[in-house]
């Protein structure tokens, strides 16, 4: 029987986003504080996911052996290092989260049956690499607070309570939503990025966080005048709003995960979207 297993490792390292061929102004425009000398550091968390058959001893691999391989090939060389000068790959391509994940895959591939590499720079930024040429995934996390009421206008009060329970109460309720946006693209051979990170973060702020934060979704967002703002529908709405703008940045939206509470979350994959969101016109909104 095929099985996936995962081993965690951690290391601390610093890096600098700076391309010598570019001017100071261009480096600052593209990388912001990340371009400042002498660099900055992170406590990285690495997940190595491996695939294989379960053997007669009940294991895919001996995890003690796996631990020593990861330590030898990755943790010992990278821990407490300045990444730009540690591995030769980083002399040509900046050590971004996604490119570090790619290089770790190359280092471990001769020793382990890899399925994917996940590298967390911090809880709201991580990358995943699956062995697909120079294509990788980058996830950005953020949050917003909003209220909603779950009720269909064509249902009676009794039907809404039967369907949505307490969530159908007339004055609504609120959540601190955690949002994770995952994009995919080809790693740039110079910047090491699948997308301009600053531009992506600004886009999510402008298209999602600022419009939705501290709103009553049913009343303040025209899309939800007719659509019940469940977590599922909110995730679809966010994915529809982001798909085309992310494409204009040079990447593709992969998925949106919306965490409504520690108990409830949903994922929407961009490939499953039918159309982008079309909200009522401003004139209609004003007249409502």
Owner of token pair 């600022």? 210
Closest alpha carbon to 194 in 48, 96, 92: 96
Mapping DSSP to helix (H, G, I), strand (E, B) and coil, where does residue 265 land?
Answer: strand
φ and ψ of 191, to 5 deg:
-80, -20
Instruction: Please check whether residue 148 is in contact with residue 216, taking contact to mean a CB–CB distance below 8 angstroms.
Output: yes
DSSP 8-state class, residue 65: H
Catalytic residue among 40, 173, 214, 244: 214
**Cα(196)–Cα(287) distance, rounded to whole angstroms?**
39
207 in catalytic set: no
3 in catalytic set: no
Instruction: Please check whether residue 136 is in contact with residue 102, taking contact to mean a CB–CB distance below 8 angstroms.
Output: yes
Closest alpha carbon to 11 in 103, 66, 74: 74
Q: Are strands 114-122 and 125-129 parallel, antiparallel or unpaired?
A: antiparallel
Catalytic residue among 42, 167, 186, 279: 167
26 in catalytic set: no
**Residues with catalytic roles:** 167, 214, 260
């Amino acid at each position: 029987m095929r099985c996936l297993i995962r081993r965690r490792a951690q290391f601390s390292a610093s890096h600098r986003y700076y391309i010598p061929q570019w001017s100071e102004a261009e480096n600052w425009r593209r990388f912001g504080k990340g371009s400042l000398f002498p660099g900055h550091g992170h406590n990285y968390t690495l997940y190595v996911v491996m695939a294989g058959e379960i053997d007669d001893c009940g294991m895919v691999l001996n995890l003690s052996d796996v631990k020593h391989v990861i330590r030898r090939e990755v943790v010992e060389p990278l821990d407490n290092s300045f990444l730009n000068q540690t591995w030769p790959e980083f002399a040509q391509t900046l050590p971004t989260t996604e490119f570090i994940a790619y290089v770790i895959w190359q280092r471990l591939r001769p020793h382990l049956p890899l399925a994917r590499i996940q590298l967390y720079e911090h809880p709201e930024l991580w990358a995943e690499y699956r062995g697909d040429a120079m294509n990788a995934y980058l996830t950005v996390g953020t949050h917003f607070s909003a209220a909603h009421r779950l009720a269909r206008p064509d249902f009676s009060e009794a039907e809404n309570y039967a369907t949505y329970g307490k969530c159908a109460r007339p004055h609504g309720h609120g959540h601190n939503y955690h949002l994770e946006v995952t994009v995919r693209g080809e790693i740039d051979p110079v910047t090491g990025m699948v997308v301009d990170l600053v531009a992506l973060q600004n886009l999510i702020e402008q298209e999602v966080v600022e419009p939705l934060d501290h709103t009553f979704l049913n009343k303040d967002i025209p899309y939800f005048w007719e659509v019940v703002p469940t977590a599922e529908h909110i995730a679809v709405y966010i994915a529809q709003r982001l798909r085309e703008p992310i494409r204009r940045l040079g990447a593709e939206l992969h998925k949106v995960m919306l965490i409504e509470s520690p108990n409830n979350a949903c994922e929407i994959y961009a490939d499953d979207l039918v159309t982008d969101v079309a909200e009522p016109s401003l004139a209609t909104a004003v007249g409502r």
